[in-house]
Structure 1
Amino acid sequence: MKKAIITGITGQDGYFLTKLLLEKGYEVHGIVRRNSQNSLGNLDYLPKEEREQIIIYWGDITDNAFIDSVIKKVQPDEVYHLAAQSFVWFSFKNPRFTYDVNIGGTLNVVNAIKEYSPHSKMYFAATSELYGKVQEIPQKETTPFYPRSPYAVSKLAGFWTVKNYRESYDLFMSNGILFNHESEMRGPEFVTRKISLGVAKIYYGLQDCIELGNLNAKRDWGYAKDYVYGMWLILQHIKPDDFVLATGETHSVREFVEEAFKVVGIDIEWEGEGINEVGKDANTGKVLVKVNPEYFRPAEVDILVGDYSKAKRELGWEPKVKFKDLVRIMVEKDLERIENGIIK
């Protein structure tokens, strides 16, 4: 039986990756940061029989002694390093914390593997935010990086740390440059889930409108379940390498809003410009979307769209869930949660 460690196991990707690895017969070990409620985050939504199979270690990736002890004890076949401070907007508010977690934590993981389990294969969750102020469209593995946030800078340090250890010590360490991937398990602080949850609440009369930042920002959005399968394929590859996972399509935040409201039968029409722009119900004229300058980034990333041809060619990976289906999945799940009283 293969053994895998997942850092960041309680997040969106950790949830889907855990399900995938359990289905494939892995022994799954998860690192969970201590919290007052002893919450397992998204893992609480797993069926009891799956949840009970996971071996949990309570600790912090910034604690090198803790990480050393877990890696040394488990001797994993695979390590999926997903843990991070991953909210871009917050990284501008607290860059030091972002750097400590994303740079220091990653260094602790790669060092532990080097010292105590050099046979382990490691996956690092890099990000399309590395491209930032894009130097070419679409972006691929050879596109120059130009990070535009403390989060992206911290992930760039992680990317090069992994690459350096791979080349310096002949370790199987790979970077996954994943473009935006969302799901019904996404945290409510992320714009896609903010929209899907907002639409559901508006539909049930629990909220008046949604406040958003840059409506014109364009992203390459895929479904997280497709992407964690890509993570697994990256570690099954014949050699360690870096791969872009994306859909090859780009859509604006504005389009995401329009598609989300269509799920509940509302057509959105736009009025005004800039921070005064609003989205109205085309039938009633009620304002359902507003722009809040507080949500603008100090340095914006205007467009991201990935070229996943290398992953398709070498791994046989390609996305399955299309943009409109992704939006529908997210909105329908939030509607269901409200109907069942899970969200009030």
Structure 2
Amino acid sequence: MADKIALISGIAGQDGAYLADFLLRKNYRVIGLCRRATREALWRLDHFGIQNQVEILECDVRDYPRVEDILKKTQPHEYYNLAALSSVTGVWERPLEAFQTNCDAVVNMLESARRYSGETRIFQASSGKIYEQEKLETLRVTEDQSEFKPIDLYSVTKLAAHFSVINFREQYGLFAVNGILFQHESPLRPDTFVFKKIIKGVADLKKGNKKYLELGNLNVSRDWGFAGDYVRAMWMMLQAKKPEDFIISSGEQHTLRELLKVAFEALGIKDWEAYVRVNSDFIRKRDTSELGASNERIAVSLGWKPEYSFLSLIERMIAYEMEQRA
């Protein structure tokens, strides 16, 4: 018999699949919410071989009565809200849907929990982009010194959700927390994100399926970690004695140049620059050039630290892509 019940919205995504696998190993009953409960939509669960172990409920998180009904019936010990419209470009194309999914749905969740499932502990996937500042060269985020200054619509929606969690926590005493997630990768990452784009591109080049990679500013640096490490941090935050928000990051920064060098060298290619072309159309002119974050506070408070290094993450993802092409 399961020890606890966990509800995961966004179960079909990268983090949802890693979290479901993690919780099942801890003997949780895992219930996943997604808009379309098809095998194609839930392929990431098949990656872990757990699709038949997760209870799937079709639910649009913007549907307040549906969310309310699910919380009433399931009374989960823990609720992880990972659902979001997460593409910066996609948010600008669908701004109303972005606010409804990334912000309104969070208030739906909090209000439903307050009214019908008050003991449920809630994790909200916040974003490191809420700190990003327009045209700033370098930003090293620390929780006690850095300001929120979102520069795009996606970041605005995430910041609104972030403050909603804080307000419900302080007003009603909910155990609700924000995990401020910096960029995290895995073989299950969507291909639209630059880290995965590079990994897949290098594998295609090695196999002769591509002649070159086309990228933007190679000097941009980011804080990249492994998704499997980050879902462990999510769980640890809900096991704490008191609800607190934490930055979840690798604590390191690396440039796209470093990523390219390591990825190509993992496949025995030294002259990586011969296979890369810079396209100015891919350069985001408003982005912070160097963005990273300290994970010292969560390390001290909860004892969390990432197990995967930048190098081991790249090697794992390269190995996966090469297996897919074998």
Q: Give the structure-1-normalised TM-score.
A: 0.89
Report the RMSD for the aligned CA atoms in angstroms: 1.7
Q: Give the structure-2-normalised TM-score.
A: 0.94
Answer yes or no: is the 8 Å Cα contact 2:42–2:51 preserved in 1.
Answer: no
Choose which of 1, 12, 15 in structure 1 pairs with 2:14: 12
Answer yes or no: is the 8 Å Cα contact 1:91–1:149 preserved in 2.
Answer: no
1:332 deviates by 1.2
Q: Which moved more, 1:164-173 or 1:104-113?
A: 104-113
1:41 deviates by 3.4
1:298 deviates by 5.1
Q: Structure 1 residues 107 and 214, CA, compared in 2 at 3 Å: closer, same or farther?
A: farther
DSSP-derived class of the 2:177 partner: strand
1:135 deviates by 10
Q: Structure 1 residues 96 and 257, CA, compared in 2 at 3 Å: closer, same or farther?
A: farther
Query: What is the correspondence of 1:224-263 to structure 2 with a 5 Å cutoff?
Result: 224-263=227-266
DSSP-derived class of the 2:126 partner: strand
1:36 deviates by 7.2
Gaps in structure 2 of 5+ consecutive residues = none
DSSP-derived class of the 1:51 partner: coil
Q: Structure 1 residues 34 and 307, CA, compared in 2 at 3 Å: closer, same or farther?
A: same
Answer yes or no: is the 8 Å Cα contact 1:11–1:41 preserved in 2.
Answer: no
* Corresponding residue number in structure 1 for 2:31: 29
1:301 deviates by 2.5
1:21 deviates by 0.3
Measure the CA separation in 2 of the matches of 1:222 and 1:242. Answer: 19
1:37 deviates by 6.6
Measure the CA separation in 1 of the matches of 2:184 and 2:62. Answer: 26
Gaps in structure 1 of 5+ consecutive residues = 270-278, 281-287, 340-344
Q: Deviations over 1:89-113 (max 9, x none)?
A: 3323333332221112212111211
Amino acid at match of 2:190: G
Matched, 1:73 2:64: no
Q: Structure 1 residues 302 and 193, CA, compared in 2 at 3 Å: closer, same or farther?
A: same
Query: What is the correspondence of 1:312-327 to structure 2 with a 5 Å cutoff?
Result: 312-327=299-314
Measure the CA separation in 2 of the matches of 1:92 and 1:300. Answer: 15
DSSP-derived class of the 2:276 partner: strand
Deviant stretches of 4+, over 3 Å: 35-38, 134-137
**Percent identity between the two aligned chains:** 37
1:216 deviates by 1.8
Matched, 1:311 2:314: no
Query: What is the correspondence of 1:1-344 to structure 2 with a 5 Å cutoff?
Result: 1-34=3-36, 39-47=41-49, 50-133=50-133, 137-142=139-144, 143-268=146-271, 279-280=273-274, 288-297=275-284, 299-339=286-326
Amino acid at match of 1:319: P
1:166 deviates by 0.4
Amino acid at match of 2:318: V
1:268 deviates by 3.5
Q: Deviations over 1:261-310 (max 9, x none)?
A: 111111245xxxxxxxxx31xxxxxxx22223333335213222111111
Measure the CA separation in 2 of the matches of 1:165 and 1:24. Answer: 29
Answer yes or no: is the 8 Å Cα contact 1:9–1:31 preserved in 2.
Answer: yes
Q: Structure 1 residues 121 and 135, CA, compared in 2 at 3 Å: closer, same or farther?
A: farther
Measure the CA separation in 1 of the matches of 2:279 and 2:69. Answer: 46
Measure the CA separation in 2 of the matches of 1:129 and 1:267. Answer: 33
